[in-house]
Chains A and B, each alone.
Chain A
Amino acid sequence: MEQKTKVHAENGKQELLITREFDLPLGLLFKAYIEPDIVEQWMGTKVLKLENKKHGGYQFETTDPRGNKHGFNGTIHEFVPNQKITRTFEMENTPFGVQLEFLEFESLTDDTSKLTMHIVYKSAALRDQVMQLPFAKGINMAHNRLQDVVNILTYHDKAQ
């Protein structure tokens, strides 16, 4: 089955591309990005501020299971309804710095739409660190073990 969400990240580059096709008309997809109560639902975060305009900004806050609060914020540079949002994104109190995000929204049919997210990081090394963040959710160890299996497979391939 074709994957609906694709990530394109070339080795050694400080950027990546995320694309996703939605079974939603363009207007509804865009709405999910600008209505604070809807953003809260799918991002799983509290929206403290969301100004959908050029020179506007946003501020999100999540609370982890231990009760610690994590802040996210950014500035909006371009805002064209149903077309694009250009913004910065920063996880507060982390070493990851600020990233630049180009979001492009397009209509495919009356009922389907596509989002292209182009994210630029300060360096290639930072990009790779951010991409490995989901591992922190407890699968890091499992992943290391898995790497062992892949190493065995690679070894067998070479031996043959």
Chain B
Amino acid sequence: MNLRRDVFQAIADPTRRAILLLVATQAMTAGAIAANFDTARPTVSKHLQILTECELLKQEQNGREMYYHINALKMKEVADFIEPFRQMWDDRFNKLEAIMKNYQSKQ
């Protein structure tokens, strides 16, 4: 599965929102994050991967440990009420572009 990572899809999941809340106060390792959940470790890893791909989390190597930080800039951008509106138009215009490219190649 290699879907384009949609940031709003990412925050629609309750576990991922809980992870963001946890990491908001301090950088944590995957193990420390997973210890807060009853879900299996690989499931938590998958959530961390999605959040990292969306740039909501950043990874930082510290010795042998990998720490997860919250990306404050991205978080603020997403929380801004303009962003969902902009995304709606962006999706719509991407569709327009794809349809017209297809139309053009058929000419």
Contacts and interface: CB of A to CB of B under 8 A. Distances in A.
Interface of A: 3-7, 9, 18, 20, 22-25, 28-29, 31-32, 38, 41-43, 115, 128, 131-135, 138-139, 142-143, 145-150, 152-153, 156-157
B97 interface: yes
A146 B75 contact: yes
B93 interface: yes
Contacts of B89: 5, 7, 18, 20
Nearest to A29: B100
Interface residues of B, number: 34
B87 to A, nearest CB: 7
A146 B80 CA distance: 10
Contacts of B97: 22-24
10 contacts: A4-B90, A5-B89, A28-B100, A29-B100, A38-B100, A131-B85, A139-B8, A146-B17, A146-B20, A146-B75
B40 interface: no
Contacts of B78: 146
Contacts, number: 110
A32 B99 contact: yes
Contacts of B70: 149, 153
A152 B21 contact: yes
A147 B84 CA distance: 14
* Majority SS at the chain A contact face: helix
A132 B90 CA distance: 15
Contacts of A146: 11, 17, 20, 75, 78-79
Contacts of B4: none
B104 A145 contact: no
Nearest to B98: A42
A157 B11 CA distance: 22
Contact of B85 (A20, A134, A147, A153): A134
Give the 8 A-B CB pairs with smallest separation, nearest first.
A5-B90, A42-B96, A7-B86, A134-B84, A42-B95, A152-B24, A150-B79, A131-B85
Interface in B13-29: 17, 20-21, 24-25
Contacts of B3: none
A20 B100 CA distance: 15
